[in-house]
Amino acid sequence: MRGSLTSPIAGVAQLISLACSDADMSPAGGEPASPAMSGTATAAAGAASTSEPAPASRSPGETPSGVPEGNPTDVPLASGAASPGESPAAEATPGEAPAGGTEQLPLAPLLSVRQEHAVAVLGGEVFVIGGFTPAATNSVEAYDPASNTWRAVAPFPSVLHHANAAVVGERLYVAGFYVGASFTDASGSVYEYDPGLDSWAERAALPAGTERASACVATLDGRIYLFGGARDGSVADASAYDPAADAWQTLPALPERREHCAAGAIGGRIVIAGGRSDGIGGFQPNTWIFDPETAAYSSGAPLLTARGGVAGAVVGERLFIFGGEGNAADPSGVFPQVEAYDAEADSWQSFGDMLFPRHGLGAGAAAARIYLPGGASQQGFGAENTHTVFVP
DSSP secondary structure letters along 2-56 = TT--SSSSTT----EEE--------TTSSSPPP--TT------TTS-----PPPP
Distance CA 242, CA 3 (A): 34
Question: Tens of pLDDT along the chain (392 residues)?
Answer: 333 333 333 333 333 333 333 333 333 333 444 443 333 222 222 222 222 333 333 333 333 333 333 322 222 333 333 333 333 333 333 344 434 468 999 999 999 999 999 999 999 899 999 999 999 999 999 999 999 999 999 999 999 999 999 999 999 999 999 999 999 999 999 999 999 999 999 999 999 999 999 999 999 999 999 999 999 999 999 999 999 999 999 999 999 999 999 999 999 999 999 999 999 999 999 999 999 999 999 999 999 999 999 999 999 899 999 999 999 999 999 999 999 999 999 999 999 999 999 999 999 987 889 999 999 999 999 999 999 999 99
Are 371 and 392 a contacting pair, CB within 8 Å?
A: no
Predicted pLDDT of residue 366? 75
Q: Which is nearest to 387 in space by CA: 108, 113, 125, 162? A: 108
Domain boundaries, the chain: 16-28+112-391
Q: Which long-range contacts (CB under 8 A, 24 or more apart) does 60-67 make?
A: 60/109, 60/111, 60/112, 60/385, 61/108, 61/109, 62/109, 62/385, 63/106, 63/107, 63/108, 63/109, 63/385, 63/386, 63/387, 63/388, 64/106, 64/356, 64/384, 64/386, 65/106, 67/106, 67/107, 67/108
Q: Which of 18, 92, 111 is nearest to 383 (CA)?
A: 111
3-state secondary structure of 369: strand
The CATH number of 16-28+112-391, from 2.60.40.1080, 2.30.40.10, 2.120.10.80, 1.10.230.10, is 2.120.10.80
How high is the pLDDT of residue 124?
85
SS3 of residue 115 by DSSP = strand
Structure confidence at residue 367 (pLDDT): 81
